[in-house]
């Protein structure tokens, strides 16, 4: 139940983040600055909480084994990226540091989407996460294309 709540909250928070970033961001740099924590905190932060505190439920929802050292290590990586997004937002180090973290985040999600696709195709693991992850990642990358293309 908690994992489903995280999923719903994650989707709503990311959608709200896009709305706020595009509504209040006057430039591509401002959009990236506003969007970064709204993407990373719900996606990676909630995944970290799932992995650390609700590992069995999260693993079951994804069709994986629960509470392995890798699951905890991955959750801690997600937590570190989450903390960095919050740090960069308040430290205001500039758009290039934010883009660096955004690319790290997107690459991590892209590789995760490849893994989820592989799990579905090769192992018949047709859980919701394995089926929706590739679509969600493609949509997320497409959604940040505009501000990135204006800066890069």
Domain range for residue 66?
Answer: 2-151
> Read out DSSP for 41-89?
IIIIIHHHHHHHHSHHHHHHHHTS-SS-HHHHHHHHHHHHHHHHHHHHH
> Residues 88, 98: contact at Cβ < 8 Å?
yes
Distance of alpha carbon 23 from alpha carbon 21, whole angstroms: 6
Structural domain count of the chain: 1
Per-residue pLDDT in tens (0 to 9) along the chain, 152 residues: 777 888 899 999 999 999 999 999 999 999 999 999 999 999 999 999 988 888 777 667 666 666 677 788 889 999 999 999 999 999 999 999 999 999 999 999 999 899 888 888 888 778 777 788 889 999 999 999 999 999 99
């Amino acid at each position: 139940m908690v994992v489903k709540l995280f999923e719903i909250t994650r989707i709503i928070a990311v959608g709200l983040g896009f709305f706020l970033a595009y509504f209040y961001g006057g430039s591509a740099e401002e959009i990236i600055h506003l969007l970064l924590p709204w993407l990373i905190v719900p996606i990676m932060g909630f995944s970290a909480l799932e992995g650390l505190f609700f590992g069995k439920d999260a693993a079951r929802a994804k069709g994986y084994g629960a509470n392995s050292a890798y699951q905890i290590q991955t959750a801690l990586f997600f937590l570190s990226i989450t903390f960095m997004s919050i740090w960069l937002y308040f430290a205001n180090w500039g758009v290039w540091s934010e883009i660096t973290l955004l690319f790290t985040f997107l690459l991590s999600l892209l590789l995760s989407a490849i893994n989820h696709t592989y799990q579905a195709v090769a192992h018949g693991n047709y859980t919701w996460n394995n089926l929706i992850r590739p679509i969600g990642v493609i949509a997320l990358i497409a959604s940040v294309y505009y501000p990135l293309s204006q800066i890069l």
